[in-house]
Amino acid sequence: MEAKKALIIIDIQNDYFEGGANPLDGSLEASMNVKTLLKDFREKSLPVIHIQHFSTRADSTFFVPNTKGVEIHENVMPVNGEKVIAKNYPNSFRETDLLDYLKSKNISDLIICGMMTHMCVDATTRAAKDFGFSCTVIGDACATKDLEIQGKNVAAAEVQKSFLAALNYFYSIVKNTKEYLDEK
């Protein structure tokens, strides 16, 4: 039986872009790569699932419901027929219908992209693998930011490389947009 794949686009929302409440390093470039992947999936009539994060914490500074920041960015705006799943946690499967939806469509392979690499992309990819999905993460279609640990700054580029390298070990295969599209 041939593998059936779906594109999972995680949290590409206005707050992660310049002028948003939590801008990421390289968010615009990543969104343009997702736009390229999205065009390919749409042309082939393959399933696309948009994940949209809504904060439920009272002290949240971004993804606040009913703000422009929580809206999906114009570069990857869903079209009619594409599934949109609202979530409240980094793991896109937690307390959502994502798993049931994928099972109902007999999806076996997930092509994962989005934001933030170190948080929601990582949590979702690991959960997907644990649920038995074959995962491919498109590294240049993901974005992250500088982090801090014990008073030391970790540059976004290092965060990105580290998380993608960790995911590439067991949880997924990591490719860039061109590699993924050229293999067909």
| Active-site pick, 87, 122, 145, 175 | 87
CB 50 within 8 A of CB 72: yes
Peptide bond into 116 cis (omega under 30): yes
* Closest by CA position to 85, among listed 133, 127, 52: 52
Question: Is residue 130 flagged as an active site residue?
Answer: no
- CA 30 to chain CA centroid, nearest Å: 10
CB 149 within 8 A of CB 118: no
Distance CA 39, CA 118 (A): 25
Distance CA 13, CA 104 (A): 27
Collect contacts of 129-133 with beta carbons under 8 A, ≥24 apart. 129/170, 129/171, 129/172, 131/93, 131/99, 133/102, 133/107, 133/108, 133/109
| Helices 122-130 and 156-169, axial angle in degrees (round to 10) | 0
* Closest by CA position to 22, among listed 92, 118, 113, 150: 118
| Active-site pick, 5, 35, 120, 175 | 120
Question: Is residue 120 flagged as an active site residue?
Answer: yes
Question: Is residue 175 flagged as an active site residue?
Answer: no
Residues serving a catalytic function are 11, 87, 120
